[in-house]
Amino acid sequence: MTIQDKIIIYRKRLIAMTHDALWCVVGLLFSFSLAYGDLYFFSSKKLHFFSIILITCSIQFLCLNLSGLYRGIWRFSSTHDLLNLIRGVTGGVALSALGIFLFNRLEGVPRSVFIIDWLILVVALGGGRLGYRILREYLGVRASNGDLMTRSIIVGAGAAGEQLVRDIRRTPHLGTKVVAFIDDDLEKRNKTLHKVSIVGGVSDLRQAVKEYKATRVYIAIPSATSSQVDRIVKSCRDTGVEFKTLPPTKDILLGEASVEQLREVQPEDLLGRDQVELDKASIRNMVSNETIMVTGAGGSIGSELCRQIASFSPRKIIFFEMGEFNLYQLEQDIKEKFPNLNYEICIGDVRDRNSVEKVIKDFSPKVIFHAAAYKHVPIMETNPNEAIKTNIFGTKNVAELASKYKVKRFVLISTDKAVRPTNAMGATKRVAEMVCQEIQASSPETKFMLVRFGNVLGSSGSVIPLFKKQIQMGGPVTVTHPEVTRFFMSIPEACQLVLQAGAIGKGGEVFLLDMGKSVKIIHLAKQMISLHGLTEEDIKIEFTGLRPGEKLYEELLLAGEDTLPTVHPLLKVAKHNGSHCSVDEIVHTLKSSETDTPNSIKMKLKKLVEDYEYYLEKDIETSAEKIESLQ
């Protein structure tokens, strides 16, 4: 903050203090005059009066300051500020009465003076603030009625819409005039909100835009489901107007909707789901006042797990990660959001057993979330030996050490690609599941839980950031196959359910996250092009063919598996977990993989994972050949 900024802030605060100090003096003078029935300060009864004024006003002004009254902004004055004012005035009047009593035993001071003074101060100080706010809003409305203003419609006449229209009027320099509200609630139809008419539902948006000559639409329904947002967005597209939205309820700062929070509609808004309701008591019981370790802490899932764990007051979080830049970014974020969090930064590789053991031995974590893994399908397809070292032997290291040092809970982050895998990454994650299940059989003191889920929105290397970049570069947007589908879930939602699974697990379960409906990638590409205000004529979509090891669709259950419900509606447990191999067998089969060719490694994985359908190098066709028959 510059010196000039500080001067502006303190100047405004000084004006408010001067206003209140003057009313403290004037209020006391009028209180005495009303109590005595004449102009007391011009009468002969004014003995010690100026001393009384000095005592009273000093005490009252100090109490007003301590009440936090001068940290508020007059044009945003609210009931909270009024309560602060009443507390300050009440404390000031009470303490000033005590001060005068100690000064002269209230000689010549009627008791009614304090009641009258309290009433005058509450009305005068509160009225001043209210009057200022009304004046600012009136001037804002006058300014926002200009002909050059951007005519806007707000979809949603609820609390968020009401806050938004107020904020728009308080900031006339934005150049926006709200001309109508749209809301599907029939009880609100033909009514007004801040003198703006509620003219119909979403189906009437096109007509409203035409009738009111609107060029912009604000979506002010933070609690809207993805299907509701999608419906509104389609209506906005049909009208050809610019549109923006408020973020979800959980992301609105301080619970207040404001102009600054308006943003472009994101793909996540259309693919996301209702906010997950957690059994926070069970998660808090697992995390609170405990040391928690997260491997792969700098990754998309690992870093979000760290942030969510931090909100449950752990004793300490161990950030275990091999990438120093990822750790640096995580630490900066944690420092800003959780300044009082106790944490340890540990650079290390899960493949280095000694490194992992030192951390577990030194810090004695009670819960380990194992998120460290290689996950990029095409890269691991040509480097399966690296996937084995990290995804299998890295998991084996952490899981065995968790058992050795009697960690209470161990949660493996798995993937839907481990089900009937067609790629090396998925096969190695399936073997990692087997490793944890086998160690569980001989580790009664440690509960091992496995959590499978699909794609997460916005993670590094995922399709949405890729599409955004391709659209910004002018296209084309590349899709592997016109029929390819994927499950999607937001990173925060996935991590919430991982925490929930870790809290309710009894040991040995494979938890499946309810991923909702699968989404066609071609439809996602079209939505993203449209959200950028473009058409498929502007940005071409090209089909490149399925990549090595890639499926048309993903699954969460193995052959023969069924699910059992849990206490959480979005979590299921796999009833039968497929074939198993002992840890010794796994080690024996894969021990020479580091020097093997990719093809021979895949054949070894096939011995461990019976339903693994692998691609050999000679079987991989070019993308053009694969897709030729589809066009």
DSSP assignment letter at 535: -
Average pLDDT over residues 134-159: 70
**Do residues 344 and 446 both lie within one domain?**
yes
Is 628 among the domain residues?
no
Of the candidates 373, 382, 381, 436, the one whose C-alpha atom is nearest the C-alpha of residue 410 is 436
**Do residues 21 and 121 both lie within one domain?**
yes
Among the options 417, 551, 572, 602, which is catalytic? 417
Using pLDDT thresholds of 50, 70 and 90, give the confidence band for residue 366: very high
**Do residues 316 and 351 both lie within one domain?**
yes
The domain that holds 161 is classified in CATH as 3.40.50.720
DSSP string of 468-520? HHHHHTT-PEEES-TT-EE-EEEHHHHHHHHHHHHHH--SS-EEEE---S-EE
Average pLDDT over residues 620-630: 44
Q: Domain total for the chain?
A: 3
pLDDT tens digit sequence for 566-606: 778 778 888 665 557 778 888 888 877 777 788 888 888 88
Reduce the secondary structure of 553-603 to three states and give it as a string.
Answer: CCCCCCCCCCEEECCCCCEEEECCCCCCCCHHHHHHHHCCHHHCCHHHHHH
pLDDT tens digit sequence for 89-126: 888 888 888 887 887 777 777 778 888 888 888 888 87
Average pLDDT over residues 253-262: 57
Tell me if the pTM is above 0.85.
no
DSSP string of 153-215? EEE--SHHHHHHHHHHHH-GGG-EEEEEEE-S-GGGTT-EETTEEEEE-GGGHHHHHHHHT--
Is 271 among the domain residues?
no
Q: Report pLDDT for 446.
A: 94
**Do residues 159 and 235 both lie within one domain?**
yes
Is 375 among the domain residues?
yes
Q: Does the structure show a pLDDT above 70 at 248?
A: no
Is 630 among the domain residues?
no
Is 626 among the domain residues?
no
Q: Does the structure show a pLDDT above 60 at 311?
A: yes
**Do residues 252 and 302 both lie within one domain?**
no
**Structural domain of residue 208, as residue ranges?**
145-265
Name the token pair of 408: 């209470």
**Do residues 126 and 179 both lie within one domain?**
no
User: What are the two backbone dihedrals, phi and then psi, of residue 189, each rounded to the nearest 5 degrees?
Assistant: -60, 140
65-79, 490-504, 599-613: range with lowest mean pLDDT: 65-79
24-33, 228-237, 258-267, 434-443: range with lowest mean pLDDT: 258-267
Average pLDDT over residues 212-219: 89
Of the candidates 232, 148, 146, 136, the one whose C-alpha atom is nearest the C-alpha of residue 184 is 232
Average pLDDT over residues 460-469: 77
Q: Which residue has the higher pLDDT, 337 or 272?
A: 337
Q: Report pLDDT for 53.
A: 77
**Do residues 567 and 597 both lie within one domain?**
yes
Give one word for 533, left, alpha or beta, with left for phi > 0 and alpha for psi -120 to 50: left
269-283, 313-327, 382-396, 470-484: range with lowest mean pLDDT: 269-283
Contacts of 426 (CB under 8 A, 6+ apart): 377, 415, 417, 418, 419, 549, 612
Q: Does the structure show a pLDDT above 70 at 48?
A: no
**Do residues 161 and 257 both lie within one domain?**
yes
pLDDT tens digit sequence for 265-295: 777 677 665 556 677 888 999 999 999 999 9
Q: Report pLDDT for 627.
A: 41
Q: Which of 100-104, 239-243, 327-331, 478-482 has the highest mean pLDDT?
A: 327-331
Catalytic-residue membership of 12: no
Q: Judging by DSSP bridges, how do beta strands 541-543 and 510-513 pair with one another?
A: unpaired
Q: Which of 105, 125, 141 is the last residue of a domain?
A: 141
Q: Does the structure show a pLDDT above 80 at 3?
A: no
* Alpha carbons 85 and 448: distance in angstroms, whole number: 55
**Do residues 7 and 42 both lie within one domain?**
yes
Q: Does the structure show a pLDDT above 50 at 621?
A: no
Is 471 among the domain residues?
yes
Name the token pair of 337: 């959001």
The torsion angle over the Cα atoms of residues 278, 279, 285 and 287, rounded to 10 degrees, is: -10
Is 227 among the domain residues?
yes
Angle at 244 between CA 240 and CA 247, to 5 degrees: 150
**Do residues 397 and 483 both lie within one domain?**
yes
Please give the mean pLDDT across all residues of the chain.
80
Q: Which of 141, 156, 185 is the last residue of a domain?
A: 141
Give one word for 398, left, alpha or beta, with left for phi > 0 and alpha for psi -120 to 50: alpha
Q: Report pLDDT for 623.
A: 41
Helices (H), 46-186: 49-66, 79-104, 112-143, 159-170
Using pLDDT thresholds of 50, 70 and 90, give the confidence band for residue 333: very high
Q: Which residue has the higher pLDDT, 427 or 40?
A: 427
Q: Which residue has the higher pLDDT, 86 or 551?
A: 86
User: What are the two backbone dihedrals, phi and then psi, of residue 117, each rounded to the nearest 5 degrees?
Assistant: -60, -40
Q: Which residue has the higher pLDDT, 580 or 327?
A: 327
Q: Which of 265, 292, 321 is the last residue of a domain?
A: 265
**Do residues 427 and 555 both lie within one domain?**
yes
Q: Report pLDDT for 547.
A: 73
**Do residues 210 and 64 both lie within one domain?**
no
Q: Report pLDDT for 253.
A: 44
Average pLDDT over residues 359-377: 94
37-51, 157-171, 543-557: range with lowest mean pLDDT: 37-51
Is 275 among the domain residues?
no
